[in-house]
Structure 1
Amino acid sequence: MNLKLIVTTVAVACVAMSQAAADKVIGYFPYWSQYSQFYPKDIRYNTVTHIHYSSLTPSEDGSLAFPDENDAPNYDSLAVMCAANNVNLVVSVGGMEAEGALKTIAGSDELLSTFVSNVKEWVGSHNAKGVELDWQNLTAEDAEGYAKMVNALVDAFSGSIVASTMYPYVAMEPYTAEVMNKLSYINVFMPDQMNEDNSSLVPNQGGKFIAETLEKAAGAGIQKDLLNPVVYFYGKSFLGATGFGSSHNGTGSGNEGYLPYKELMGKFDTPDYKVSYDSDSQSEIAVSKEEAIVFMGIPSVKAVAENVKNNGYAGVAVYDLSQDHHEPIVSILVTIGLELRPDVNYKPAKKK
């Protein structure tokens, strides 16, 4: 028996399996996208493998509803287009301010059974491939209820997608390996690092921070090939800042200081901003006479995708689809795809 050959073969197989795991590109489609004039027809479906519709609102009686009934036709269009383009449509349940209802549901076996039945019926009748549980602001006290809800959903959706969000910097206690490793995959959210309360300018996200967050989750025993870091498609502006470590005078341009990535590219077409990449944090900064903008651009997101691919994570999730640039050459989704799904043709279709 050639032991060296066996060891080499196993090593190569392990590397191949690790790289094969990094094949998910997940895009969030929030219900409010309609108000920024972004619709299902505007999505470039070849850039994603999964779309998460965010999100259905649970009530304390276990029922579900659209947060805005005006978006129901958009959801229907999204379901049709996902099916036509072989993209997995997953419905997120929960979200902001839903933790009270989820806690009540998880605290009652009867309500939990009703809730799971309603989720299963909704997913089945609305042409989705599965569900994502988005229980925010979990505490150690919620660990038992969260585990019960995850287990109930996994049992009910045998053969379908059951995913969950994860907020490791809020609390880690509820996210036990025993529970999380039963899921199809996990989208890992992290807090904004730069806010108006910060006295000096720091990166808002960054590849290094994302890598540390993934290591924190994996260090708790959660399988790497289930973890997707969530990359934010927005920058944050601060008046008077001149670079990382400088002071500022509050939020700058944009909607309360928030700027979609696609708008940033328009700003940077002018000579008003000097854009640079910070290799220490793996993030970008743009500085003008009036303000500085911290954001994730092509180099930093490429670093995230490379980390995911090289370390056997599941893929990359993005928040949200409406904020990417439509041109492939500056698209963050295309940047991710070129690393994780290089066989896909990302060139725009020729106009007839």
Structure 2
Amino acid sequence: MNLKVVALAFALGCAVSAQAAADKVIGYFPYWSQYSQFYPKDIRYNTVTHVHYVSLMPGEDASLNFVDENDATNFKDLVKFTKENGVKLVVSVGGAEAEGNLKAIASSEELLPTFVSNIKSWLSANGGDGIELDWQNITAEDAEDYSKLVNALVSDMSGMIVASSMYPYMAQEAYSAETMNKLSYIDVFMPDQMTEESSELVPNQGATKIHEMLSMVSDMGIEKDKLLPVIYLYGKSFVGATGYGSAHQGFGSGNEGYLGYNELMGKFDEPDYKVTFDEESKSELAVSNAEAIVFMGIPSVKAVAEDVKSEGYSGVAVYELDQDHHEPIVSLLVTIGLQLRPEVNYKPKKKK
């Protein structure tokens, strides 16, 4: 199967009519992109409305620091290029293993105002249009402290973006609609559905599962036009699997079974893989003699974007920018853009 031909057919389909503006396209740019030789200059800024930089780590004393100080120069470039291209730059604060410090800050009458002040000072000194609060490993017991932190940020950062990540499958009770509706927008993450511990092969994501997740969150009373699903731009490979429902013998090719979407397109140029689109889950599956790979491709990502637009959600986020394909005809960001921002010219610039 020639995947690029299939990609063209799906990507160039007509956009559905919108019930509400679903015009945000957010791309995550993590600090580790530098180690795969992907830099701020390599971002195709016409494909996104917002770039989320990952990340700043909160200290026990409510200070803020780059997770990797070696990335400070790249952040300066990111500020420069986003400004030049009219793209919003949002800094993610928190992340893996930051939940302890965030809880300590949020529950302290002393540290909480210091933390908010430090964020504002950091943005003023370094650049950026706002922050995304990323409280991972949140629990139901954190609900009150999470609300305190969000309320303080929203109250003291007037005129700036105050967004948050959300992990509803981890602790739905941690998020109150009253609190969440105060945010500029919310990036909704789901955990990987396919892991090494899974007894049989299932989709890692899919438009059907993403639809269910967004419906669950909006049913909590959270406004739809605040919500963006996060699409993972990677696939996961498993040795010995032959299709959905089949057994496997652990991770296949890639880094512990992870393969960026751009890597997958190179693999699928070879005739070894049969690639299919599963209508029930609205996800892609590639099977060879050695392994099976579950991923989100052009048809499933297009289905997510169509659903977001027809349901009146805020837009779509992708994780992470360096894993998209650089060719517009195969690009997942372009696929999203053709649905949410069809007026944009996504054709590559002609070489001089």
- Note whether the superposition's TM-score is higher than 0.5: yes
Q: Give, in whole Å, the separation in 2 of the partners of 1:46 and 1:139.
A: 37
Q: CA deviation at 1:19?
A: 2.9
Structure 1 stretches lacking a partner, 5+ long: 1-14
Paired letter, 1:33: S
Q: Which residue of 1 aligns with 2:181?
A: 181
Q: CA deviation at 1:18?
A: 3.2
Question: Number of aligned pairs?
Answer: 337
Determine which structure has greater relative contact order: mean sequence separation of CA pairs < 8 Å that are 6+ residues apart, divided by chain length: 2
**C-alpha contact (below 8 Å) 1:18/1:313 kept by paired residues:** no
* Aligned sequence identity (%): 70
Task: Render the CA deviation track for 1:132-156: whole Å, top value 9, x for unaligned.
Answer: 1000111111111100000000011
Q: Give, in whole Å, the separation in 2 of the partners of 1:325 and 1:186.
A: 26
Paired letter, 2:100: G
**C-alpha contact (below 8 Å) 2:18/2:310 kept by paired residues:** no
Relative to the length of structure 1, the TM-score reads: 0.95
Q: Which residue of 1 aligns with 2:157?
A: 157
Residue 284 in 1 paired to residue 284 in 2? yes
Q: Which residue of 1 aligns with 2:5?
A: none
Paired letter, 1:290: A
Q: Give, in whole Å, the separation in 1 of the partners of 2:160 and 2:241.
A: 48
Task: Render the CA deviation track for 1:147-194: whole Å, top value 9, x for unaligned.
Answer: 000000001111110000000000011211100000000000000000
Paired letter, 1:80: K
Q: How does 1:331-350 map to 2 (within 5 A)?
A: 331-350=331-350
Q: Which residue of 1 aligns with 2:20?
A: 19
Structure 2 stretches lacking a partner, 5+ long: 1-15
Paired letter, 1:101: N
Task: Render the CA deviation track for 1:222-268: whole Å, top value 9, x for unaligned.
Answer: 00000000000000000011100111111000000000000000000
Q: Which residue of 1 aligns with 2:6?
A: none
Q: Which residue of 2 aligns with 1:84?
A: 84
Q: Give, in whole Å, the separation in 1 of the partners of 2:298 and 2:20.
A: 21
Q: How does 1:250-329 map to 2 (within 5 A)?
A: 250-329=250-329
Q: Secondary structure at the match of 2:110?
A: helix
Q: CA deviation at 1:125?
A: 1.7
Q: Give, in whole Å, the separation in 2 of the partners of 1:344 and 1:19.
A: 18
Paired letter, 1:137: N
**C-alpha contact (below 8 Å) 1:18/1:311 kept by paired residues:** yes
Q: Give, in whole Å, the separation in 2 of the partners of 1:350 and 1:88.
A: 26
Q: Give, in whole Å, the separation in 1 of the partners of 2:136 and 2:292.
A: 31
RMSD across aligned positions (CA): 1.0
Paired letter, 2:163: A
Relative to the length of structure 2, the TM-score reads: 0.95
Task: Render the CA deviation track for 1:95-140: whole Å, top value 9, x for unaligned.
Answer: 0000000000011011001100000111122220001100011111
Q: Give, in whole Å, the separation in 2 of the partners of 1:204 and 1:108.
A: 39
Q: Give, in whole Å, the separation in 2 of the partners of 1:153 and 1:17.
A: 32
Q: Secondary structure at the match of 1:329?
A: coil
Q: Which residue of 2 aligns with 1:53?
A: 53
Q: Secondary structure at the match of 2:153?
A: helix
Q: CA deviation at 1:17?
A: 7.5
Q: Give, in whole Å, the separation in 1 of the partners of 2:341 and 2:254.
A: 33
